[in-house]
Structure 1
Amino acid sequence: MKRLPHILAGTMLSVSLVSFPAFAQQAGTPVETQAPNAPDQQPAFSGQTRAPQPPEAVSIQTEVVAEGLPHLWAMEFLPDGRMLVTAKQGAMHIIGTDGTAGPEIANVPEVLADGQGGLLDVALAPDFESSGMIFFSFAEPRNDDGNGTSVASARLVADDQGGGALEDVNVIFRQTPGYEGNKHFGSRLAFGPEGELYVTVGERSDAEPRV
């Protein structure tokens, strides 16, 4: 899945250029030196949660490519160079190569836009150029059963106004059981080398739903 390296959510999209100046701290020393948050949880091996410091730090330079956007969560580059973005409040937009945001994509399902919930990740199907299929995750309201992370497939049909619609929307995964909370929905999507779709889900933060 390809993404812009840096997104300033809610205001603009920016691209990032990186350079690698020398890093003062000795390479190989742990990045994190504070005590673990959960001292009773033991790592599988010594240093498991203490990644070593890289030998060189990354310097980031940003360039704004689009402004005035809603609170964005994720994006994918379309084959023609435009960007398909998801907005937390439940909207999808196509961003033109000139940085102009098209109108909202029609037929996006209802989302729970509360706390950390909303319209979340998006991924193009490996055969997107021929099928037009996309997959997206969202915090789904479930009436009396709380809410949860769900994943849907749909066919993206673009129009000549910079927008378009989702067709054949189908929920293919629901995290169960539902829970009446608004945190830790997880929700990254990635395709494997054989076309399998990987989905991350959260533990919903509160102690009650954790297993």
Structure 2
Amino acid sequence: MLPTRSLLLALPLLAALPGLADAQETERAQACALTAETRVSDLAHPWGVTFLPDGMTVITERDGVLWLADPSTGSKSEIAGAPRVRAAGQGGLLDVVAHPDFAQNRRLYFSYSEPRSDGLTGTAIAHGTLSSDGSRLSEVTQIFSMAPATNTTRHFGSRIVFKGDGTLWFTIGDRGDRPRAQNPDDHAGSVLRIAEDGSIPTDNPFADGRGGARELWSFGHRNAQGAARHPETGALWIVEHGARGGDEINRPEAGKNYGWPTISYGRHYHGGQIGVGTSADGMEQPVYYWDPSIAPSGLAFVQGDLFPAWRGDLLVGALKDRMLVRLDMENGDVAAEERLFKGRFGRVRDVRMGPDGAIWLLTDESDGALIRIAPADGVCG
């Protein structure tokens, strides 16, 4: 499958509606006015958000603070007992995902930069149990620690996605050391898969330890900060940062090599060519890429009843260009790209579909916010 270059669609803007943070009209056969409301504010570089069955949210801040927030009122309270993190550079408390059976087990899963006794750090995964009143975590248990660890503070990944079979995928960046992504025995620059208790699934591509790390799902990734499971096929999709250009949408398959840094559609920051070019034998092509880069973070498939015309499309947050991107998906390919709210909210770090069918954004700013996006007229499509 050949990658598709990004296509910018012109977007007519509407005046802000009374009581709403912003409003915008989208490109479709039938235009759709969107409203955007800030629901939780005063967040310091938030990184991940997950919805609980009762409508509350749990939000991570990169420096290690964990919040229980009510998006209906904007109130929030700190949750005690969060995993200890090394908050430096791009590291800290990162993703958070509620277990699919949270209503029964109240378990939350976290990714974070783990501080080690030797002064090194790496991406780790842990879970903990949220108390019934939401005030604290207990039984916090680390179930994965990447190897080898280093003293760099870049490219931790790291998104978590439940596969639906008692296992979970998660992403780890190349830690700023490019060649590591081409070593399947190294956790860096990869998508990994483990069971919910941290054990190794027997159907992982290298579960016997021969040819690659036992946790490895795919490799040759630079730094994936968005991941989502397709609501119909169950396949994993990720979005990863390129260097100067070359941000990619990939659909990682077991045991496959996605090329970084041997192939890339971007260039080094100093302008030089990366690797051998854009293709090589035995290396997968992206589904889609951006050149120039948008610095993507956060990924979600549109689901629910509020956006029937967009159902199955991909939503991507952008840090550098400070916007929400919608990729119009047709038979597994990107047919068009639409850029929304550019420059309106700041750096978009996470994108989620809420249980209410709305789109929710988390902005990575010193005064970050959780923002709800919905059709102004009730339904888009």
TM-score, length-scaled by structure 2:
0.39
Corresponding residue for 1:125?
99
SS in 2 for 1:129: helix
2:59 is aligned with 1:85: yes
Preserved CA contact (<8 Å) 1:126 1:195: no
Aligned partner letter, 2:110: F
How far apart are residue 143 of structure 1 and its match? Answer: 2.3
Secondary structure of 1:130's aligned partner:
helix
Task: Give the aligned residue type for 1:98.
Answer: T
Unaligned runs of 5+ in 2: 12-24, 27-33, 184-381
- CA distance, structure 1, for counterparts of residue 43 and residue 58 of structure 2: 12
State the 1:153 CA deviation: 1.0
Give the AA of the match of 1:205.
G
CA deviations 1:161-199 (Å, max 9, x no partner) are xx5111111100111111100000001001112231111
Change (3 A) 1:69 1:145: closer
What RMSD in Å do the two structures reach over aligned CA positions?
2.2
Equivalences for residues 46-61 of structure 1 within 5 A: 47-48=2-3, 50-51=4-5, 53=7, 59=26, 61=35
> What's the counterpart of residue 138 of structure 2?
167
Map 1:15-164 onto structure 2 (within 5 A).
Answer: 47-48=2-3, 50-51=4-5, 53=7, 59=26, 61-96=35-70, 97-102=72-77, 104-144=78-118, 146-159=120-133, 163-164=134-135
Aligned pair count reads: 161
Distance 1:79 1:207 in 2: 40
Q: Pick from 192, 195, 206 the counterpart of residue 163 of structure 2.
A: 192
How far did residue 109 of structure 1 move? 2.0
1:33 corresponds to: none
The alpha-carbon deviation at position 129 of structure 1 amounts to 0.1
CA deviations on 1:134-164 (whole Å, 9 max, x unpaired) are 11010001121510000001111142xxx51
Residue 183 of structure 1 is aligned with which of 154, 165, 171?
154
Q: Distance between the aligned counterparts of 1:204 and 1:156, measured in 2?
A: 31
CA distance, structure 2, for counterparts of residue 207 and residue 71 of structure 1: 26
Greater Cα offset, 89-98 or 59-68: 59-68
Q: 1:180 to 1:137 in 2, by over 3 A?
A: same
Q: Does 1:205 align with 2:180?
A: no
SS at match of 2:47: strand
Identity %: 36
Q: CA offset at residue 89 of structure 1?
A: 0.4
- Can you list the C-alpha shifts for 1:63-97, whole angstroms capped at 9, x where unaligned? 11122122100101111111110110001101113
Give the letter for the 2:81 counterpart: N
- Quick one: which amino acid aligns to residue 142 of structure 1? R
Q: Distance in 2 between matches of 1:139 and 1:52?
A: 32
Question: Alpha carbons of 1:140 and 1:168: their partners in 2 closer, same or farther (altered >3 Å)?
Answer: same
Taking the aligned partners of 1:196 and 1:51, their CA distance within structure 2 comes to 33
In structure 1, C-alpha distance between the alignment counterparts of 2:177 and 2:132, rounded to whole Å: 40
